[in-house]
Amino acid sequence: MKAFFKPSFAKIILTFILFVIASLFWRQYVISTISDTFPWGFPLQFYLAWGPCPPSVTCSESNMLFLVLDIVIWYLASAFMISMVKKRKIAG
């Protein structure tokens, strides 16, 4: 169990690759269906901007807790994927 959670270079790189790809695909999907909403983050949306926005008004919001939880979720997913690959190498 310790090996599952122990950070490695591969887990960290895979975490950020999954994090960025999922966020980009979700952003593109939302932008294509709702024209004036611009989110970041999947499965938890940690940043949202909308428009058109009048001058001197902030039309965005962010949630740092969702950002941290999003990264943790993708870290767990990458740890699971890497452990499955290692098990296949040992078994195969």
Q: How far apart are CA 37 and CA 17, in angstroms?
A: 24
The whole-number pLDDT of residue 92 equals: 62
Cα dihedral 29, 32, 35, 39 in deg (nearest 10): 20
Q: Are strands 60-62 and 47-50 parallel, antiparallel or unpaired?
A: antiparallel
Cβ–Cβ under 8 Å, residues 16 and 7? no
Structure-token match 């919001």, residue found: 61
Q: How confident is the model at residue 87 (pLDDT cuts 50, 70, 90)?
A: confident
**Domain region containing 20:** 2-91
Structure-token match 């975490």, residue found: 15
pLDDT at 50 over 70: yes
Neighbours of 16 (CB within 10 A): 14
In this prediction the pTM is: 0.86
Indicate the number of domains in the chain. Answer: 1
